[in-house]
Amino acid sequence: MAQNFTFEYLIIDLSFEMYIITNNRIPHLAKRKLSEFGEVIFFETQDISYPAISLHPDIFMVQTGKGLVIAPNLPLEMKNILNKKNISFFEGENYVGKTYPQTATYNAVITEEFLIHNLNITDSFLQSQSENLEKIHVNQAYTRCNLLALKENNFITSDEGIEKVLRKRGVSVLYINPSEIILPGMKNGFFGGCCGIYGNAVYLIGNLDFIPEGKKVRKYISSLAYELIELYNGPLFDGGSLIFID
């Protein structure tokens, strides 16, 4: 089947050396704000996965300590952009598909210490890239969608199963109910998909005032000495994560 896709660029300062990959359909005000921090590549695919997640970068790629790992069927145009920007990447083994588990094989969370995912479906190349890390199995295969990894083994999750596993592991984790998070085409989205981290800043597609636990999240993020950058004054929007590359 033919694959159609578009990539949009929104650049204010051509001297930027940081690239930000995100969903082409995040709110326009969030796009404008995000473009203040780096060169933004708005990601979109068609006829690869189902519509609600077909524009989500975290379905097709994941950052590891050894570099970016991408699905082999990431659109050629996207691969060409990565090459043009001198962004190194490795291709995994599994193709992203239209149904689970082919939709979630790259949706892992990788930190300096852990690979957190449903290990039954994790791409084999991704596992080999993480051989020096402790593996933590969770049932929720859309792990990156639901989990934001902060410094010093602190986490925020919108999945109660992930919360339970991490608490047993002895790390700090804050749970928030995802019911107020927007994901077009679905009942709701998930917290991790609204976020990205670069340096000591947490970037959020939306404003925490739109969720009941907003004050808790602000306090938690602030306690770790992060700056919180809310990209627009509206509900949290699950765009499939913000991926920062320098």
Contact at 8 Å (CB) between 219 and 172? Answer: no
**143 lies in a domain?**
yes
Structural domain includes residue 219: yes
Query: Could you list the residue range(s) of the whole structural domain that residue 119 is in?
Result: 8-245
* pTM for this model (two decimals): 0.92
Q: How many domains does the chain have?
A: 1
Q: Which of 63, 56, 59, 60 is nearest to 79 (CA)?
A: 60
- Please check whether residue 211 lies inside any domain of the structure: yes
Residues 57 and 25 sit within 8 Å (Cβ to Cβ): no
Within a domain: residue 2? Answer: no
| Residue 43 included in any domain | yes
pLDDT tens track for 89-98: 999 999 999 9
Q: Which one, of 145, 176, 182, lies nearest residue 160 by Cα?
A: 176
Q: How far apart are CA 203 and CA 210, in angstroms?
A: 16
| Per-residue confidence in pLDDT tens, the chain, 246 aa | 334 444 444 443 444 579 999 999 999 999 999 999 999 999 989 899 999 999 999 999 999 989 999 999 999 999 998 999 888 999 999 999 999 999 999 999 999 999 999 999 999 999 999 999 999 999 999 999 999 999 999 999 999 999 999 999 999 999 999 999 999 999 999 999 999 999 999 999 999 999 999 999 999 999 999 999 999 999 999 999 999 998
Whether 3 maps to a domain, the answer reads no
State in Å, rounded, how far the first CA of the chain is from the last one.
34
* SS3 assignment, position 199: coil
Sheet holding 89-91, edge to edge: 61-64, 67-70, 89-91
Domain presence at residue 76 = yes
Q: What is the CATH number of the domain that holds 29?
A: 3.75.10.10
Q: Are 180 and 188 in contact (CB under 8 A)?
A: yes
Specify the 3-state DSSP secondary structure of 110. strand
Write the CB contacts of 121 (distance below 8 Å, at least 6 apart in sequence). Answer: 101, 104, 105, 141
Give the tens place of pLDDT for each residue, 118-172: 999 999 999 999 999 999 999 999 999 999 999 999 999 999 999 999 999 999 9
Interstrand relation of 39-43 and 19-23 (parallel, antiparallel or unpaired): parallel
Residue 17 lies in a domain: yes
